[in-house]
């Protein structure tokens, strides 16, 4: 397969040799260097309620737009999946939902079967595992139960699972999208206060590792009653093998809607000199303009806002790149 040539905009490298799935959030696409990459393992990590499942579903929705014939498998391993809510957020109705596969060897077989199907049909594929924490060791005998080996053996088995899948995923045109829950790192005085399952293999083989954190609850008051209707989220890319690492962004996620891309972009652009003026938008009008654009589905203006966000992000990021390559 002939490799696509990479472009440099200013000093900013733009990957053309990788196909990306849009995240549903323009700013997160910028953070990641284009989105979630095919032929790679990606890891989305976060606290409960931080939009991990929402972003997983938006990945599936955008994958279907970009690849109408592609294969989508959503492996729900936590027994807490609300299918109607998922459809509301954009999960394609033809996505295959896997809910009855819990044991690690069966998960491995399931993913390999999808890889084989994708290769035979010569189609791209997206396999979402939500979450890694929900899969289990095979049922144990009474003797094994008494031995207390469970935690160490599970960690070893998950490491082996990731290691064994890395090669086949890269060979196939698949994105293996792994969701992880966050746990407290008990007894740690320095370094990371949080950790996630997956061990060193996931750290090594994942091309992208993104951590999510809730920054605020978005509320409004109706008839004297105040209730949250969304959250603010901060996404930090702690590893990126297909773009610059350690980039981060803030976005709004609205219940029963998903990422509010318009408001998130405009909130980011308001701090960029001249950006809102070029769009003909005032800071104080952002919320009302966003409501109107969503209601009227004014794609032309929405795309202008997205393009302005991407252009501004690249121009800023280019300033952090070296002026010349060391060996040029």
pLDDT for 184: 59
pLDDT for 1: 45
CA distance 18 to 270: 31
Domains of the chain: which residue ranges? Answer: 9-259, 261-322
**Contacts of residue 183, Cβ cutoff 8 Å, sequence gap at least 6:** 194, 195, 196, 197
Could you give the count of Cα atoms lying within 13 Å of 100 in the half-sphere of its Cβ? 1
CA distance 245 to 133: 25
pLDDT for 118: 96
pLDDT for 141: 45
pLDDT for 182: 84
pLDDT for 185: 56
> Per residue of the chain (328 residues), what is the pLDDT tens digit?
444 555 655 445 566 789 999 999 999 999 999 999 999 999 999 989 999 999 999 999 999 999 999 999 999 887 777 888 899 899 999 999 987 788 999 999 999 999 999 999 999 999 999 988 888 888 764 455 545 557 778 888 999 999 999 999 999 999 999 999 886 554 545 556 666 766 789 999 999 999 999 999 999 999 999 999 999 999 999 999 998 889 999 999 999 999 999 999 999 999 999 999 999 999 999 999 999 999 998 999 999 999 999 999 999 988 888 877 788 7
9-259: CATH, from 1.20.1090.10, 3.30.70.270, 3.40.50.300, 1.10.3720.10: 3.40.50.300
Q: What is the largest CA-CA distance in the chain?
A: 71
pLDDT for 142: 44
CA distance 206 to 149: 27
Q: What angle do CA 236, 237, 238 make, to 5 degrees?
A: 105
- Residue-wise burial string across 28-52, b where 16 or more C-beta atoms lie within 10 A, e elsewhere: bbbbbbbbbbbbbbbbbbbeeebbb
């Amino acid at each position: 397969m002939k490799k696509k040539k990479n472009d440099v905009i200013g000093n900013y490298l733009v990957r053309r040799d990788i196909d990306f799935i849009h995240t549903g959030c323009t700013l997160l696409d910028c953070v990641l260097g284009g989105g979630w990459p095919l032929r790679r393992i990606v890891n989305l990590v976060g606290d409960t309620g931080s939009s991990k499942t929402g972003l997983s579903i938006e990945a599936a929705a955008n994958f279907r737009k970009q690849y109408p014939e592609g294969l989508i498998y959503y492996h729900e391993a936590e027994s807490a999946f609300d299918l109607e809510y998922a459809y509301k957020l954009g999960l394609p109705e033809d996505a295959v939902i896997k809910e009855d596969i819990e044991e690690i060897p069966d998960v491995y077989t399931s993913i390999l079967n999808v890889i084989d199907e994708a290769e035979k049909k010569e189609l791209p594929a997206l396999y979402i595992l939500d979450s890694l924490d929900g899969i289990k060791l095979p049922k144990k005998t009474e003797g094994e139960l008494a031995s207390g080996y469970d935690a160490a053996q599970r960690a070893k088995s998950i490491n082996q699972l990731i290691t064994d899948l890395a090669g086949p995923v890269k060979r196939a045109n698949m994105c293996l999208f792994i969701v992880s829950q966050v746990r407290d790192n008990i007894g740690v005085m320095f370094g990371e206060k949080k950790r996630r399952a997956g061990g060193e293999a996931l750290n090594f083989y994942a091309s992208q590792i993104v951590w999510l954190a809730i920054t605020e609850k978005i509320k409004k008051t109706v008839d004297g009653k105040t209730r949250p209707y969304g959250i603010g989220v901060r996404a930090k890319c702690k590893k990126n093998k297909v773009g610059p690492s350690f980039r981060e962004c803030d976005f709004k996620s609205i219940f029963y809607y998903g990422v509010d891309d318009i408001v998130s972009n405009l909130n980011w652009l308001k701090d960029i000199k001249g950006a809102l003026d070029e769009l003909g938008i005032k800071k104080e009008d952002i919320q009302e303009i966003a409501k109107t654009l969503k209601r009227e589905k004014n794609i032309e203006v929405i795309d202008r806002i997205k393009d302005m966000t991407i252009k501004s992000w690249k121009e800023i990021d280019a300033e952090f790149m070296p002026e010349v390559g060391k060996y040029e």
